[in-house]
Amino acid sequence: MDELTQLRELRADAPVPDRAALAPGRALLTDAIAGRSRRTRRLLADWRIASLGAAAAITAAALIATQVVDTSAPRHGHLAARAHDPDLSSPAAALNEAADDLTRRKTPVEPRSDQWVYLREIGGTVTDRVRAGSSIRTDPSVPQAMDRSDPHKPHETWLKYGGEAEAKKRTPDLVYRPYSPRRLHRIATGLPQDPQKLLAELRRAFPADAGHRLAGETTDEHNYRAVFTLLDQSYAIPPHALARVYTALATVKDVKVTDHLVRDASGREVIAVTRESSRMNSRQEIFIDPRTYAYAGFKEVVTKEHQAWYDGTRYPGDVIGDLARTGTSVVDADGQKP
């Protein structure tokens, strides 16, 4: 496809600019033609090439002007500013597109065992209808104990990359982390290429024996939970390994993708890969950054009214958990910020 065709298709739905809007550009083009017509035949040939570029520039300027003033035109979030719109037509399309992009990236250097992983997150697990005096037990695979008095207040966590001993107990942020970042890195890099074998490995790494919420889960529920837990508890899974994980996630039964970008707890636009659980009466959403394809957080929403023994009645639309991961990096000391 040539450049002019791409230019015309950039905003095919934009209204045609009126003559007044094009008049200044037309005058400039006319003057250029008149001035260059007095030159030699060789320069005339050069002018013909230049005039095509001038016409393309004027057309582009007119299209940009219509984007600025036409606020009523339908828009897909802020995708007009993106070089590429993610394919959200199906889970396979979205996740395989992400996998294809990731396989073309270089693998970064693995952190040293004595370094620390810094995480910056907003949100967490929420219970909007907690009854006074009730005790709350929660799914250990979901981040807990974020400060919800201010939902926009960031929560910072430091994890020693090779801290095997520290990983065996609950960390200060109360997230149950059975593995250190280094161990999770090795689990991810060792995953097989075949999607079904990969999911079986993740089920073994994150077994269904971690609490009451997991009792009776199906294999497909387990697959989705295991993928989510790996993504949520890992730091910077190598691109090729993450590509395999996304390819496998696309094969999990009843996994869907929202056909438009959604807002996470920090206000960013993200891809939402979802799965509803009739057993849990909720919809789980895994968020993926549409530019980098990195894990970006999660959300869990009630889909059917039901009684939760630890916080009373839940209603459709209630948000159980909502977390945005807004920063990850490696630092040299506990408490150090990038």
Query: Which is it for the CA torsion 269, 289, 338, 120, positive or negative?
Result: positive
Q: What is the mean pLDDT of residues 286-312?
A: 87
226: region left, alpha or beta (phi > 0 left; psi from -120 to 50 alpha):
alpha
184 burial (CB, 10 Å; 0-12 / 13-18 / 19+) is buried
Is the Cβ–Cβ distance between 306 and 314 less than 8 Å? yes
Average pLDDT of the chain, as a whole number = 73
CA 147 to chain centre: 23
pTM of the model: 0.67
Reduce the DSSP state of residue 204 to 3 states and report it.
helix
**59 with 7: CB under 8 angstroms?**
yes
Contact 249, 255 (CB under 8 A): yes
pLDDT for 129 equals: 36
Average pLDDT over residues 293-315: 83
Pick the more confident residue, 135 or 263.
Answer: 263
Cα torsion at 43, 45, 48, 53 (round to 10°)? -80
- Residue 301 predicted with pLDDT over 80: yes
Taking the C-alpha atoms of residue 65 and residue 43, their distance in angstroms, rounded to an integer, is: 32
For 207-262, what is each residue's pLDDT tens digit? Answer: 875 544 566 789 999 999 999 999 999 988 999 999 999 999 999 999 999 999 99
How far lies 293's CA from each of 98, 268, 316, in Å? 6, 13, 30
What pLDDT is stored for residue 319 in this prediction?
A: 85
CB 337 within 8 A of CB 137: no
Angstrom distance (rounded) from CA 208 to CA 216: 9
The answer to whether the CB of 167 falls within 8 A of the CB of 180 is yes
* pLDDT at 60 (0 to 100): 38
Question: Tell me: the pLDDT tens digits for 262-271?
Answer: 999 999 999 9
Cα 311–chain centre separation: 30
Q: Is the pLDDT of residue 3 over 60?
A: no
pLDDT tens string 88-109: 999 999 999 999 999 999 999 9
In the chain, what percentage of residues exceed pLDDT 70? 60
313 versus 194: the higher-pLDDT residue is 194
CA distances from 56 to 26, 36, 50, 51, 52 (A): 12, 18, 10, 8, 6
Confidence of residue 127 (pLDDT cuts 50, 70, 90): very low
